[in-house]
Amino acid sequence: MTTVSRAEYPPAAGDPGEGLADQYRRFVVRRVICLLALALACLVALLVDVASGPAMLGLVDVVHGLLNPDALDAGTRVIIQDIRLPYALMAVVVGACLGLAGAEMQTVLNNPLASPYTLGVGAAATLGASLVIVFNLSLFGLAAHILLPLSAFVFAAAASLLILLLSKTLGASVHAVVLFGIALLFGINAIVGLIQFVADAESVQQIVFWTMGSLARASLDKVMIVAVVLAACLPFSLRNAWAMTLLRSGEEQARSLGIRVERMRLLVLLRVSLLTAAAMAFVGEIGFIGLVAPHIARLMLGEDHRFLLPGSALAGALLLSLSSIASKLLVPGVVLPVGIVTALVGIPLFIALIVGRSRRLAL
């Protein structure tokens, strides 16, 4: 017997409401399937990341070891639980933070090339960390491992607020704001270079290690801190999903429908600062994830931010997890800083985005 699907057998022409309902149902189901596929890919990448390294482990052994750690010998248990699991989990949560931050920033600034990295927010976090490292700052008796991420957050937030202040006081267009952010990036990099010039050898080594981005300092406690920040920010992001989707259709139209654009932009930039600082506080500067992940999610899920925002977080987690695997396999026996790997992959993608955007504007 031949089965005819509902898609092949559209509703009668006199019942357009049922046709629209079916189209919307299919629209939602396709995007939910894409999100589930991204989540599954992240899980597989996480397991492969745990399994890969100088002492290669089988995926079955990794799953068995995670579910029943008492069955492992002491050496394998240390490798999985104390070394590789924090490393792999940190890649997932940091990638998710950067992917979500990039998607929100691109929406509120209405520019596909905006990201915490390209607008200098990440560089500002590096400047805050460099000041603590070089001048051995202490404030209110806080230890360096607490003051360093705190300083990174303060400087990242200051950079975001500076960008926002420019857009409000000078009436600059979003494109001018993006150009200002790029200028800010180069200016902050120059200041960091000056700090390195006057620093001693040990401090320079720490700053260089920070700017390369590395997951080697990950621990379960640090993973938990980043995960809590992500879990705290994601509900507020999803709460603005409809407003951000509407903003993509034009700022004036969003205002006419009651969206308080300036207030939303301020809150989003503060949230981006928090996500960026939390992501970079323990692993250093990692570029291009916040730029590329939203574009991958947008290709799969479209502009509906109910799906784009979690999709960008999942795409960022997947990209950084794959980069983590590559960092351990590109040079046998050596673990490359993951920031180098993301830059090697991100630069060609970044150039492709610029060329593609230029061609679209020329049409």
Which residues are CB-contacts of 160 (< 8 A; sequence separation ≥ 6)?
A: 121, 269, 270, 272, 273
d(Cα 150, Cα 225) in Å, to the nearest integer? 12
Q: Where are the domains of the chain?
A: 22-360
pLDDT at 340 over 50: yes
- pLDDT category at 263 given cuts 50, 70, 90 is confident
pLDDT of residue 313: 95
Asked if residues 287 and 339 have their Cβ atoms less than 8 Å apart, the reply is yes
Query: What is the chain's mean pLDDT, rounded?
Result: 82
User: What are the tens digits of pLDDT across the range 189-232?
Assistant: 899 888 888 888 888 887 887 788 888 878 888 899 899 999 99
- pLDDT category at 6 given cuts 50, 70, 90 is very low
150 vs 15, higher pLDDT:
150
pLDDT of residue 358: 67
Which residues are CB-contacts of 81 (< 8 A; sequence separation ≥ 6)?
A: 69
Q: What is the mean pLDDT of residues 81-86?
A: 87
Q: Which two tokens stand for residue 180?
A: 């200002």
User: What are the tens digits of pLDDT across the range 20-64?
Assistant: 888 888 889 999 999 999 999 999 999 999 988 877 778 888 888
Among 4-18, 140-154, 211-225, 278-292, which is the least confidently predicted range?
Answer: 4-18
pLDDT at 309 over 90: yes
Q: Which two tokens stand for residue 304?
A: 């509906």
Topology classification of domain 22-360: ABC transporter involved in vitamin B12 uptake, BtuC (1.10.3470)
Which residues are CB-contacts of 217 (< 8 A; sequence separation ≥ 6)?
A: 282, 283
pLDDT of residue 4: 41
Quickly list H helices, the chain.
16-51, 59-67, 74-77, 85-108, 121-135, 144-169, 174-198, 201-212, 220-239, 241-247, 251-256, 261-281, 289-301, 305-329, 338-362
pLDDT of residue 18: 64
pLDDT of residue 233: 93
d(Cα 69, Cα 196) in Å, to the nearest integer? 44
Q: Considering just the CA atoms, what is the radius of gyration of the chain in Å?
A: 22
pLDDT of residue 5: 44
CA nearest 287: which of 220, 215, 211?
Answer: 211
pLDDT of residue 227: 93
133 vs 305, higher pLDDT:
305
User: What are the tens digits of pLDDT across the range 192-204?
Assistant: 888 888 888 888 8
pLDDT at 15 over 70: no
Highest mean predicted confidence (pLDDT) among 78-87, 233-242, 247-256: 233-242
Angle between helices 16-51 and 289-301 (to 10 degrees): 140
